[in-house]
């Protein structure tokens, strides 16, 4: 009797592992997905869900979408039918990983190409960028009775021969010993009356309360925060941008590419198991 129970249990496990998705109709799709995921361990079900998101929405990072926790049997994923029909759970998970690796490869290539474009165009105006100095950058919190407001402070000096109407900057907020920065994002500021050659100004910028630079209880009050600010682009007195091409920051794109490469290596480790 006990032996029969083990045989039945083993049979069910094999059936679950070999069950395949039937996308011939919405009803069969739902029932086949439900059969596949019914007794699936939570960790594997999470992998399965993320793979469905990656395949259906062709994304490298499914965890950033709104559908990561969606029911795998939801009609939301029927759009991926042609890619997953006839596949087992393991084959779908593998396809999800290979989809993500392909998207990451493409994104890394685009970042590298952008870095070259930015560096090449910026070289034309190297003397101007080198003549505009950003000193003493600091990220701090201004506290009031009712709220805590993030403030980006720095001193900017225009030693170029160009009057600056507006600056486009990129900031990186980090802590020593941490691989990934807390924030790596752009911001801009328009000078009232411009910043003439030879002028300096101390700026205290209050970011949008809904943006990346807003107050965040996870890190904003840390005593070890380090802020780096680099000039990405600028507008002259006529409102014309100095750089007409890719407006990004090469260093920021290098960081993005490194993060994507790390993510890719982690996924490839899972694929090799």
Q: Where are the domains of the chain?
A: 2-105+265-272, 126-242
Q: What is the pLDDT along the chain (273 residues), one digit of tens a residue?
A: 444 434 333 333 444 456 898 888 888 888 998 999 888 999 999 999 999 999 988 999 888 877 777 788 787 787 777 889 899 999 999 999 999 999 999 999 999 998 888 888 888 899 999 999 999 999 999 988 778 999 999 999 999 999 999 999 999 999 999 989 999 999 999 999 999 999 999 999 998 878 899 999 999 999 999 999 999 999 999 999 988 766 566 778 888 899 999 999 999 998 887
Listed in order, strand segments (DSSP E) in the chain are 132-143, 148-158, 164-174, 183-195, 200-205, 226-235
CATH of domain 126-242: 2.60.40
In terms of C-beta distances under 8 Å and separation of at least 24 residues, what long-range contacts does 198-203 make, across chains too? 198/158, 198/159, 199/157, 199/158, 200/155, 200/156, 200/157, 200/158, 201/155, 201/156, 202/153, 202/154, 202/155, 203/152, 203/153, 203/154, 203/155, 203/156
CA 12-17-21 angle, 5° bins: 110
Name the 3-class secondary structure at 26: helix
Q: What integer pLDDT is reported at residue 4 of this predicted model?
A: 44
pLDDT at residue 118, rounded to an integer: 81
Q: What was the pLDDT predicted at 5?
A: 39
CB atoms within 10 A of CB 128: 19
How much is the pLDDT for 63?
Answer: 84
pLDDT of 79 = 72
Q: What is the pLDDT of residue 152?
A: 97
| Spatial distance between the Cα atoms of 249 and 232, rounded to a whole number of angstroms | 6
Name the DSSP letter for residue 64: G
Tokens of 6: 């083990």
The whole-number pLDDT of residue 225 equals 97
Report the predicted TM-score, pTM, of the whole model to 2 decimal places. 0.57
């Amino acid at each position: 009797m006990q032996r029969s129970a083990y045989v039945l249990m083993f049979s069910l496990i094999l059936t679950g592992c070999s069950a395949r998705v039937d996308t011939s109709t919405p009803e069969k799709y739902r029932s086949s997905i439900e059969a596949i995921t019914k007794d699936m361990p939570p960790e594997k079900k999470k992998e399965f869900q993320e793979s469905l998101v990656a395949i259906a929405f062709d994304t490298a990072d499914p965890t950033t979408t709104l559908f990561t926790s969606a029911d795998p049997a939801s009609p939301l994923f029927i759009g991926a039918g042609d890619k997953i029909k006839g596949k087992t759970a393991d084959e779908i998970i593998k396809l999800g990983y290979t989809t993500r690796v392909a998207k990451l490869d493409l994104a890394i290539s685009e970042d590298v190409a952008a870095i070259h474009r930015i560096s090449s165009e910026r070289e034309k105006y190297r003397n101007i960028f080198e003549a505009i100095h950003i000193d003493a950058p600091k990220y701090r919190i201004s506290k009031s009775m009712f709220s805590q407001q993030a403030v980006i402070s720095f001193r900017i000096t225009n030693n170029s021969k160009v009057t600056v109407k507006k600056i486009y900057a990129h900031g990186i907020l980090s802590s020593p010993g941490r691989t990934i920065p807390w924030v790596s994002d752009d911001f801009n500021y328009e000078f009232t009356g411009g910043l003439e050659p030879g002028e300096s100004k101390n700026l205290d910028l209050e970011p949008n309360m809904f943006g990346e630079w807003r107050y965040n209880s996870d890190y904003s009050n840390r005593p070890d925060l380090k802020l780096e600010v680099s000039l990405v682009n600028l507008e002259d007195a006529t409102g014309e941008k100095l750089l007409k091409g890719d407006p990004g920051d090469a260093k920021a794109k290098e960081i993005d590419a490194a993060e994507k490469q790390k993510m890719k290596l982690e996924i490839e480790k899972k694929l090799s198991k």
